[in-house]
Chain A
Amino acid sequence: MRTSAVFAAALSLVSFAAANSPVSQTYPPPQVWKNANLVHIISAEKNYVKENINVLIENIAKQPQDEYFLPFTTDQLARLGGVEVKDRKDAKAGPFVAEIVEVDPKRFAASPSPSPS
């Protein structure tokens, strides 16, 4: 039902204000994944935006991986809600845990800039 979706958005939005986010251990995220194919669907049909990112991820590292990072700006985060992650092929694939990790500002000073584009 459409209305319930919006509620979810609102609720999770609220949760960000209260969430005590852990500090990310890694910056920038290690390049262990490749997005083999990605479809980004932005739905601007209602007076809020719903975005879907359907992505085929491939592990290009030498070890098994279980953490995937998605970047947001702080401005977006303040308005973000209703985050849901699932396996597109297998509805029974166990729960995906999604949480915001805060990057320690001090790490920015120390971290090297990515190569200029």
Chain B
Amino acid sequence: MDVLTPNRNTQYLRIQLPTPLKPGAQQTIGISYYLLDAYKPLPATINIEDAQFLSYSFSAYCPSAYTTTKQKTEVKFAFSNIPDYTKLPGSGDVAEFPVKQGAKLTYGPFDEKTAGAVEPVQVRFEFNRPVNHVADLERDVEVSHWGGNVAFEERYTWIQGGANLTNHFSRVKYQHFRLPTWHILREMRFPLRVGSSDPYYTDVIGNISTSHFRSNKREALLEIKPRYPLFGGWKFPFTIGWNSDAQNFLRKTATGGYVLNVPFLEGPRQPEGVEYEHVQVRVILPEGAEYVSRFSVCWQLLTIITTGTSSTRPRSRRRRSSPPRSSSTRRSSTASGGRLW
């Protein structure tokens, strides 16, 4: 796991400082990033009534391309139950690393380490929550000028990445062990923009009736329950959609153009978090829209889509009139998220 050994496994993030640093000068920089698919359930399979444990591997010495004089590594968890973690010999008045404080482990402080020094460690911790992983999200925002409407549709391929069930799903056991802090996904809550209306919630079978939409002046909360409780390794593809008055998102400019201002992504608000592997956002503008410009995020545009008045296309299929998922469409939209950092 030596990340600095010359092999094809090492890549570098190059950080360009805003101003060059003079010889001998110092600067404190904070680098933050996310890692998805980070954990492995351990054990990989559990019984329906068991707690779920995840493991995470990392280096107790922070991987660096430079010599590090002094360092420490802190690991924070959601629960304080951390049954296993790699132990290292301590230094100074600490006999052994890590030091455990509640739901936090601290490796270090360590003395000087050379560039590329690593010390692989693994932690195993309780995580009695679903591991929400969206393998694929397709989000369409369709502007209808003559309907005065903006229609949203989101198609999720949702995977619960937690520990799989050792045995078959047992309805009896499921009803019996109905604990509140479980690693089963039972509900998702989508806080939509105020003014959203006509929500729908479907999957390949058809309408799913286990949903609730609370809409008033202050909120528009769509609460949905999956068709079945989602255990680790289970997959649930579903679609939600809603409408909103175009005036909530469109405004006219002095020069006669229009500005569309929509959330790039909304998604459910889950206390345990949601991670997205692949996201495709499509904005479908009215036919004849021209001079599309000035995106506040970097986009590469786009396929011209014909909709609406075509006599060969039934009106009722308007929502599905997005282009076929050609590779070029996918490419253009995958580039859309670029350069956000």
Binding site for B on A (CB under 8 A): 2-3, 5-15, 17-19, 24, 27-29, 31, 33-77, 79-89, 93-103, 105, 108, 111, 113-114, 117
Q: Which residues of B from 271 to 301 have beta carbons under 8 Å from A?
A: 272-279
By the criterion CB–CB under 8 Å, are B11 and A102 in contact? yes
**Is A28 a contact partner of B77 (Cβ separation < 8 A)?**
no
Q: Does A69 contact B35, Cβ atoms closer than 8 Å?
A: no
8 closest residue pairs by CB, A with B: A10-B276, A94-B18, A46-B273, A11-B337, A9-B34, A64-B20, A15-B338, A38-B71
Q: Which of A38, A53, A68, A81 contacts B17 (CB 8 A)?
A: A68
Task: Note all chain A residues with C-beta closer than 8 A to B268.
Answer: 3
Q: With CB as the reference atom, state the residue of chain B lying closest to A89.
A: B28
- Closest residue of chain A to B276, judged by CB? A10
Interface magnitude class on chain B: 35 or more
**B161 in the interface, Cβ–Cβ < 8 Å?**
yes
Pair A38/B70 contact, Cβ less than 8 Å: yes
Say which residue of B8, B265, B331 sits within 8 Å of A18 (CB atoms). B331
Bound Cα distance A63, B20 (Å): 9
A83-B31 contact given A44-B38, A72-B12, CB 8 Å threshold? yes
- The residue on B at minimum CB distance from A105 is B8
When C-beta atoms are compared, the residue in chain B nearest to A9 turns out to be B34
Across the interface, B13 reaches (CB within 8 A) one of A3, A11, A69, namely A69
Known A-B contacts A7-B265, A56-B26, A69-B13; A37 and B70 likewise in contact (beta carbons under 8 Å): yes
Rounded to whole Å, the gap between the CB of B22 and the closest CB of chain A is 5
B65 and A29 contact, CB distance less than 8 A = yes
Contact: B15 with A35, CB < 8 Å?
A: no
Contacts A40-B73, A47-B132, A93-B18; A28 near B4 (Cβ below 8 A):
yes
Q: Which residue of A lies closest to B114 (CB)?
A: A117
11 new A-B contacts, CB < 8 A, other than A35-B71, A79-B38, are: A15-B338, A33-B65, A34-B68, A35-B68, A39-B72, A40-B73, A50-B32, A65-B17, A66-B16, A83-B33, A87-B29
Listed residue (B12, B27, B32) with the most chain A CB atoms within 10 angstroms of its CB: B12
In the assembled complex, the CB of A53 is this many whole angstroms from the nearest CB of chain B, namely 4
Chain B interfacial positions (CB closer than 8 Å to A):
1-39, 54, 56, 58, 62-78, 114-117, 123, 125, 127, 129-134, 161, 264-265, 267-270, 272-279, 331, 334-341
Q: Is the CB of A34 within 8 A of B67?
A: yes
Whether A71 lies near B71 (C-beta < 8 A) is no
- Chain A residue with the shortest CB-CB distance to B336: A14
With A49-B38, A57-B27, A63-B23 as known contacts, state yes or no: A71 contacts B66, CB within 8 Å: no
Query: Closest approach, in angstroms, between the C-beta of B278 and any C-beta of chain A?
Result: 7
Tell whether, in the assembled complex, residue B276 and residue A66 are in contact, meaning their CB atoms are under 8 Å apart.
no
- A12, A36, A46: the one contacting B70 at CB < 8 Å is A36
- Bound Cα distance from A114 to B76, whole angstroms: 33
Q: Are A14 and B279 in contact (CB under 8 A)?
A: yes
Q: Is the CB of B66 within 8 A of A33?
A: yes
A58 touches B26 (CB 8 A): yes
Q: Are B35 and A96 in contact (CB under 8 A)?
A: no
